Amino acid sequence: MANPRALDKRRKSVRNIRKITRTMELIATARFKQAMDRAHAATAYTDRMKKLLHDLTRTGLEVTHPLLEPRETTHRGILLVLSSNRGLCGGYNGNLLRRAQARWEDFGQSVPQRELEVSGKRGLSFFKHRQQPVQEAFTHFEDKPRFDEVEVLANRYLNDYATGQLDRLDIAYTKFRSSARQEATVETLLPLGSMEEGLPEVDDQTAPAGRAESQYEFLPSAAQILEEVIPTSFKIRLFKCFLDAAVSEQIARMVAMKSATENADDLIRSLSRTYNRARQAQITGELLEVMGGVEALKE
């Protein structure tokens, strides 16, 4: 402990780590802003979609679709887990995987044929460690999930659901509530349940009040449009999950790296103090030795 050289070495390595965590914090901040902008840009679509749906339902159309109705018996269920490819993001993956694991065990009791699909290397290694087979693994979703990439997945689920090969789809991801609050959640995406869920509420002020009912002309027909609206709103929900997960990951990393940097600062300070004290003690010791030697020679 009192070896000043060892202390200095340790202080240097802490300084280096601090440089790394500080840089990662800055990178995460920049990525978070980008991801946030993307998520924000995506709300334009959901808002308009919601408005369209609002206008559609005002015609008094009965909203029924196979995607909305729960199946009587569930044979095959898929759990999709959105974890991150990289670590150093605090409790982000830990919290998420704990929730996912709990749902997976629930599945074991209620779903005869359960399958696991995982996005992100962290989740993959977690399930590999637990020796749970993963049917599909994705590692190409980084901090900028693209709609056409997500759509490929969505189409596969929709086709499987339509042909009766899939009865239930659950997704575990980190929901973005605000920049200060994200929570790991597990949601059921298929059957969709309510269509309005997941799409933001229409502000009544934005919808012009007092408009005549059903003023729209529907081409080819309202029912035909509805047939397309429902799969699309599923795709949007899935895409939103990916966007949320990307934003939350960057926030988690930013927060984790910020506190790591602060910790490193504290550590450097306390190490410096100990080092100075040890150095002073060494000098004092050496002085005493010299003085002792002089005294001894005098005699």
Partner 1 sequence: MESPKYELAGQRILSVVVVTPETTALETPAQFVALPLYDGEIGIAPGRAPLIGRLGYGEMRIVEGNETRRYYVDGGFVEMSGNTLTVLTHRAVPADQLDAEAAQQQLDEALRRPANSQELLAVRDRLILQARAQIRTARRAG
Residues at the site binding partner 1, with contacts judged by CB under 8 A: 38, 41-42, 44-45, 48-49, 51-52, 55-56, 146-148, 151, 159, 162-163, 206, 208, 215-220, 222, 224-225, 228-229, 232, 235-236, 239
Q: Which is nearer to partner 1, 102 or 162 (CB)?
A: 162
Burial 224-263 (b: 16+ CB within 10 A, else e): ebbeebbbebbbbbbbbbbbbbbbbbbbbbbbbbbebbee
Which CB atom, from 73 or from 163, has the smaller least distance to partner 1? 163
What long-range pairs does 232-236 form, CB within 8 A, spacing at least 24? 232/49, 233/49, 233/53, 233/192, 233/195, 233/198, 233/199, 234/67, 234/154, 234/157, 234/158, 234/189, 234/190, 234/192, 235/150, 235/151, 235/154, 235/158, 236/45, 236/46, 236/49, 236/198, 236/199
Kindly tell me which of 222 and 260 has the beta carbon lying closer to partner 1.
222
Question: Looking up tokens 């003085």, which residue turns up?
Answer: 291
Give the whole-angstrom CA distance, residue 190 versus residue 67.
Answer: 7
CB nearer to partner 1: pick between 201 and 295:
201
User: How many whole angstroms separate alpha carbon 235 and alpha carbon 151?
Assistant: 6
Query: Could you tell me how many residues make up the chain?
Result: 299
**Distance, CA of 217 to CA of 110 (rounded, Å):** 45
Beta bridge partners of 169: 78, 190
